[in-house]
């Protein structure tokens, strides 16, 4: 604020704030305003609102206002009405932590500054009968400050801004100085401590002088008793060293055991993978031996059409793996279907229960051939001439009428047989041997 012509107007009647600012070399003019302090606000907002009210009530270019509010667990302690309320406030604050909010309001020709500073305060517990209480009394609105000790021969001194009673002892409230107490003065305490130290020193010297003639005899008496102690200490040290080494070795063994467990887990995982691969190869070999020698690939099933209109499977291999349209697809249990579309990395299989599927079939142990069509969701409908002998429980295998599949691949078992078209045809309802929903991989054969 250097270089300004107008003085700083202090919107407060507090002599302490006036003295602090004058000590800093600021020319001051006091203008304490009259404001209403009974506002229903939280303590922090109350301090800010009171400081703002005081500053706004005073006219001038450079105006400084301040207010301080004591906050006890969210309750703002206002100025007490009498000494009894002062004592009540002190008893509530004694031995408890509380907050002190100090708000400032500074208005200049170029700026307006409003700040609130909060300090955490803990008053020591009050002792009955051993402390002298000093009453503080507010002299006017906005007069901050604290309590100070009374002079000799005078009663309690009242200074502006004091809201509480304060007892002797060091104060943690900003601006508060402890009054005279009735405890032991610091000089007496220091003298008492020094006297106790000298007494203990003299007692030690006296005991040393009395026991000096007994030292040689005492040494001869205690020597046989203390002789085993060095050996015992050495053995104890060796045992501790051995125990420490055993503990380190145990830690090494634990780390090695953990490493072996991890290696074993890796080997078990590899073993499971190899077992699955062996099982897959065994299934492929079984298909090669029992169904057809022309095995092209073992392909994973990566998708299925469950719409109900078509029953088709999506394979995870395609043209780059040698798959082509028209290749039969089987499983160890029996026939699956026929590849109808091929992409670079995928292939689409029309299963035997698809409504567009046509398969030449024959009884495994009988003569005659027929045509089986897909009957979604999970059946086939086979038609035979009336001369073919077909009964429930018979196994149907692929035959040669359509020439799409190798001969002899199992298709399904007959569930029921009925005559159609006035006895000119036999219709057989067939359950496939392959459960399409459980397939994980299939075998692709060379087309005929």
Taking every pair of C-alpha atoms in the chain, what is the biggest distance, in angstroms? 141
Q: How many angstroms separate the CA atoms of 357 and 378, rounded? A: 13
What backbone torsions phi and psi does residue 196 show, to the nearest 5 degrees?
A: -65, -40
Q: How many angstroms separate the CA atoms of 424 and 275, rounded? A: 53
CA 390-394-398 angle, 5° bins? 90
Q: How many angstroms separate the CA atoms of 326 and 312, rounded? A: 14
Assess contact for 439 and 353: CB atoms under 8 A: no
| Catalytic residue, candidates 67, 71, 131, 354 | 67
Assess contact for 413 and 398: CB atoms under 8 A: no
Q: How many angstroms separate the CA atoms of 131 and 212, rounded? A: 52
Strands (E) located in 294-424: 295-304, 312-315, 328-331, 334-342, 347-351, 358-363, 370-375, 379-384, 395-398, 410-420
What's the token pair of residue 240? 């501790």
Assess contact for 11 and 31: CB atoms under 8 A: yes
Q: Residue 205 in 3-state DSSP? A: helix
Assess contact for 163 and 175: CB atoms under 8 A: no
Assess contact for 72 and 97: CB atoms under 8 A: no
Return the number of other C-beta atoms located less than 10 Å from residue 245's C-beta. Answer: 10
The tally of CA atoms less than 13 A away on the side-chain side of residue 391 is 3
CA-closest candidate to residue 410, choices 286, 267, 235, 231 = 286
Q: State the DSSP H helix or E strand holding residue 113, giving kind and residue range, or none if neither.
A: strand 112-122
Q: State the DSSP H helix or E strand holding residue 323, giving kind and residue range, or none if neither.
A: none
Give yes or no: 71 in active site.
no
Q: Mind telling me the catalytic residues?
A: 67
């Amino acid at each position: 604020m250097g270089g300004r012509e107008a003085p700083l107007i202090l919107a407060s009647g507090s002599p302490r704030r006036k003295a602090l600012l004058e000590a800093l070399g600021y020319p001051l003019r006091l203008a304490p305003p009259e404001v209403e302090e009974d506002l229903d606000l939280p303590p922090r907002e109350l301090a800010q609102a009171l400081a703002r009210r005081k500053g706004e009530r005073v006219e001038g270019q450079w105006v400084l206002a301040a207010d301080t509010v004591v906050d006890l667990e969210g309750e703002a302690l206002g100025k007490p009405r009498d000494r009894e309320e002062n004592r009540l406030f002190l008893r509530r604050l004694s031995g408890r932590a509380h907050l002190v909010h100090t708000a400032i309001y500074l208005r200049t020709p170029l700026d307006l500054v409003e700040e609130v500073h909060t300090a955490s305060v803990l008053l020591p517990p009050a002792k009955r009968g051993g402390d002298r209480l000093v009453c503080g009394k507010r002299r006017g609105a906005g007069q901050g400050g604290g309590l100070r000790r009374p002079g000799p021969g005078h009663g309690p001194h009242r200074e502006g801004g004091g809201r509480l009673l304060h007892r002797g002892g060091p104060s943690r409230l900003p601006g508060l100085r402890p009054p005279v107490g009735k405890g032991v003065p610091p000089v007496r305490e220091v003298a008492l401590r020094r006297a106790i130290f000298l007494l203990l020193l003299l007692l030690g010297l006296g005991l040393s002088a009395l026991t000096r003639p007994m030292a040689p005899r005492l040494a001869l008496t205690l020597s046989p008793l203390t002789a085993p102690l060095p050996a015992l200490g050495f053995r104890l040290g060796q045992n501790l060293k051995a125990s420490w080494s055993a503990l380190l070795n145990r830690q090494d063994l634990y780390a090695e055991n953990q490493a072996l467990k991890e290696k074993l887990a890796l080997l078990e995982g590899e073993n499971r993978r190899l077992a699955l691969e062996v099982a897959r190869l065994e299934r492929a070999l079984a298909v090669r031996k029992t169904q057809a020698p022309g095995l092209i690939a073992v392909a994973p099933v990566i998708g299925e059409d469950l719409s109900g209109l078509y029953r088709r499977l999506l394979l995870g291999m395609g043209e780059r793996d040698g798959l082509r349209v028209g290749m039969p697809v089987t499983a160890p249990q029996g026939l699956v279907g026929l590849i109808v579309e091929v992409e670079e990395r995928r292939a689409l299989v029309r299963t035997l229960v698809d409504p567009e599927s046509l398969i030449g079939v024959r009884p495994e142990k009988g003569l005659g051939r027929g045509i089986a069509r897909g009957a979604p969701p999970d059946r086939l409908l086979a038609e035979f001439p009336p001369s073919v002998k077909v009964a429930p429980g018979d196994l149907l295998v692929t035959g040669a009428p359509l020439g799409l599949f190798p001969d002899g691949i199992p298709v399904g078992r007959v569930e029921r047989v009925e005559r159609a078209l006035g006895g000119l045809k036999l219709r057989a309802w067939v359950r496939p041997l392959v459960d399409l929903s459980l397939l994980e991989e299939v075998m692709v054969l060379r087309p005929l």
